[in-house]
C-alpha cells in the first residue's frame, strides 16, 4: 500500500523545550509493509515515509502503536496519524481522497494486529527521485516527439500546452486533469471538441487557435464552463456560426474569433456582460446583431469583414396581417415577462422566445417583423476600436427589428429628419 502526498512529521515533545515545528509539509511517498527488526529479528509491519532529502525513508512501527486518527478533512485529502512511540504526529495533505481513505484503512488494520495476509502490503524500499518531486503545475509540449504515448500527464497540472503535435482529437487523458486551469491545444488538427471538456471544473483559459474546428457544441456552452471560462481563443479555424447557447458563457472576458468563416455572431451576444476584449477580424460578417449594442468593451477588432452599407429603406418584410395567434401569444408572454418553460408551453416556443427580437419601441417580436440595418459607431460599445476597413472607418451596420409598420414608419421619419439637418 503506497500513498503520494505532502507530509509533515510533528514531534509532540518539541513545544516542551520551547521549539516550534517548521509547519510546512514536503512531498513524500508513504508505504505500509513488512520489515525485519535487526535486534529482535522479528518481522513487523511499518509505515515508511520517503522524501527527496531522505529517499531511504524513516520507519514507524504500526502494531499497537497508533494513538489516534484525525480524519475530519479526509474528503479534502487531509488527515493526521498520531504515533505513540516516538511521540510524533504524521500530518498528511494534498492526497487523493480515495487513496488516502484506503491507506488509513490499511494502517488501522496493521495497528490492530490483523493478519498480514489480509493487508495490501508494499515492499519497503527507497523511492525514485521523481516519485518525491513537488507536483508539477505546468507542462509545455511543442513537438510530436515529446508527446507522451505510454506515460500519463501529471495529475497536478494546472497549465498544459500541447502544440504542433498534429493532434486530430483531444486526448482523453487530458480530461482527467481536474486541477487544469489553462489548456492550450493551438496549432494542431483538431476537428471536434468532446463535450467532456466541460467537466474540467477549474478551466478558465481554453486556447484552440489554428485547428480545424467546424463547430462549438451546445453541450460545452451549457457545461461548467459557464462559471469558469474567461478566455476562449477559437481563431484560425473553420467556424461558420456559433450556437445561440454560446452566450451562456457569461464569465468570458476575452474572446478571439479571428480568421474563421463566421457569417454572424450569436444573436444574444450582448448577454456576455463580462466581455472586455473581442476580436472577430477577417470573417464573413455582413451585419452585427442588434444585441451588440449592449456590450461594454475595452478593445474591439472587426477589421476585414464584408460589412454591408446600411440603408434604412433596404429592409426585409416578415409581417402578415393580422398577426397569427401564436405570434400574438408569444409576444404577450415576452412583453409581460410571464414565466415559461417546456413544462408549460411546447419546447419549440421556448426556443423561439430565447431568440426574441426587440423593437425600437421596446416591445418584442418573434417570427414576424421588419428587419433593416442601421449604422453604429463602434466607439459606443468599446473604448478602443481597430479600424473596420482601410478607409479608417469605425462604423459598422447593426440589425434593427420592428414589430409593426408604424414603428418602422416612425423610424424612417426620424432618419429622414436627421438627414435633412
Convert the pLDDT of each residue in 99-141 to its tens digit. 899 999 999 998 988 776 667 676 777 777 666 666 788 999 9
Task: Please check the confidence at residue 421 and state whether its pLDDT lies above 50.
Answer: no
- Average pLDDT on 290-297 reads 92
Torsion on CA atoms 130, 133, 135, 138, rounded to nearest 10: -70
- Average pLDDT on 90-99 reads 90
Q: What digits encode the pLDDT tens for the residues 345-368?
A: 888 888 888 888 888 888 988 889
Give φ, ψ of 232 to 5 degrees: -135, 120
Q: Return the number of other C-beta atoms located less than 10 Å from residue 227's C-beta.
A: 11
pLDDT of residue 158: 92
Which of 7-21, 176-190, 215-229 is predicted least confidently? 7-21
Q: Which pTM was predicted?
A: 0.71
Greater confidence (39 vs 415) lies with 415
Which three three-digit cell numbers place residue 357? 427580437
Cβ 3 vs Cβ 29: under 8 Å: yes
CA Rg, the chain, in Å?
31
Q: What is the mean pLDDT of the chain?
A: 88
Handedness of CA 139, 145, 147, 150 (dihedral sign): negative
How many residues are recorded in the chain? 421
Cβ 25 vs Cβ 91: under 8 Å: yes
Give φ, ψ of 190 to 5 degrees: -70, 130
Q: Pinpoint the alpha helices (H) of 258-301.
A: none
First to last CA, the chain: 85
Please give the distance of CA 253 from its chain centroid, rounded to a whole number. 13
DSSP 288: B
Q: Which residues pair with 161 in a beta bridge?
A: 140, 184
Report d(CA 418, CA 301) in Å as an integer. 29
Q: Omega into 86 within 30° of 0, i.e. cis?
A: yes
Handedness of CA 277, 283, 286, 289 (dihedral sign): negative
Report d(CA 42, CA 223) in Å as an integer. 57
**Please, which pLDDT band fits residue 419 given cuts at 50, 70 and 90?**
low
Which three three-digit cell numbers place residue 14? 518539541
Q: Which residues pair with 25 in a beta bridge?
A: none
Which residue's entry shows cell 477559437?
A: 234
Q: Return the number of other C-beta atoms located less than 10 Å from residue 280's C-beta.
A: 24
Which residue's entry shows cell 447593426?
A: 398
Judged on CB neighbours under 10 Å (0-12, 13-18, 19+), 113 is exposed
Amino acid at each position: 500500500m503506497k500513498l503520494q502526498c505532502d507530509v509533515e512529521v510533528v514531534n509532540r515533545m518539541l513545544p516542551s523545550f520551547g521549539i516550534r515545528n517548521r509547519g510546512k509539509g514536503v512531498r513524500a511517498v508513504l508505504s505500509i509493509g513488512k520489515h525485519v527488526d535487526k535486534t529482535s529479528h522479528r518481522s513487523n509491519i511499518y509505515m515508511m515515509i520517503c522524501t527527496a532529502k531522505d529517499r531511504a525513508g524513516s520507519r514507524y512501527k504500526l502494531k499497537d502503536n497508533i494513538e489516534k486518527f484525525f480524519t475530519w478533512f479526509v474528503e479534502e485529502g487531509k488527515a493526521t496519524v498520531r504515533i505513540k512511540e516516538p511521540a510524533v504526529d504524521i500530518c498528511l495533505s494534498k492526497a487523493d481522497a480515495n487513496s488516502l481513505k484506503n491507506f488509513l484503512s490499511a494502517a488501522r488494520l496493521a495497528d490492530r494486529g490483523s493478519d498480514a495476509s489480509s493487508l495490501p502490503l508494499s515492499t519497503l524500499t527507497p523511492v525514485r527521485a521523481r516519485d518525491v518531486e513537488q507536483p508539477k503545475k505546468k507542462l509545455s509540449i511543442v513537438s510530436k516527439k515529446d508527446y507522451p504515448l505510454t506515460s500519463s500527464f501529471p495529475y497536478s497540472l494546472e497549465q498544459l500546452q500541447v502544440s504542433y503535435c498534429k493532434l486530430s482529437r483531444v486526448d482523453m487523458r487530458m480530461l482527467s486533469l481536474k486541477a487544469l486551469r489553462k489548456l492550450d491545444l493551438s496549432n494542431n488538427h483538431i476537428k471536434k471538441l468532446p463535450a467532456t471538456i466541460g467537466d474540467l471544473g477549474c478551466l478558465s483559459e481554453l486556447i484552440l487557435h489554428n485547428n480545424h474546428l467546424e463547430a462549438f457544441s451546445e453541450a460545452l456552452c451549457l457545461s461548467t464552463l459557464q462559471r469558469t471560462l474567461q478566455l476562449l481563443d477559437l481563431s484560425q479555424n473553420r467556424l461558420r456560426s456559433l450556437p445561440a447557447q454560446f452566450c451562456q458563457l457569461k464569465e468570458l472576458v476575452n474572446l478571439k474569433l479571428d480568421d474563421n468563416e463566421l457569417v454572424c455572431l450569436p444573436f444574444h451576444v450582448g448577454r456576455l456582460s463580462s466581455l472586455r476584449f473581442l476580436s472577430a477580424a477577417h470573417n464573413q460578417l455582413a451585419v452585427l446583431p442588434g444585441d451588440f449594442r449592449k456590450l461594454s468593451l475595452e478593445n474591439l477588432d472587426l477589421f476585414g469583414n464584408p460589412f454591408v452599407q446600411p440603408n434604412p429603406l433596404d429592409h426585409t418584410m416578415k409581417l402578415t396581417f393580422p398577426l397569427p395567434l401564436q405570434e400574438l401569444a408569444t409576444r404577450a408572454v415576452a412583453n409581460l415577462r410571464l414565466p415559461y418553460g417546456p413544462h408549460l408551453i411546447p419546447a419549440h416556443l421556448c426556443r423561439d422566445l430565447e431568440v426574441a427580437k426587440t423593437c425600437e419601441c421596446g416591445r418584442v417580436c418573434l417570427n414576424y417583423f421588419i428587419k433593416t440595418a442601421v449604422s453604429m459607431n463602434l466607439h459606443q460599445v468599446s473604448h478602443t476600436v481597430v479600424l473596420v476597413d482601410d478607409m479608417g472607418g469605425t462604423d459598422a451596420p447593426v440589425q434593427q427589428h420592428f414589430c409593426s409598420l408604424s414603428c418602422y414608419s416612425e423610424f424612417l421619419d426620424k432618419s429622414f429628419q436627421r438627414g435633412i439637418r
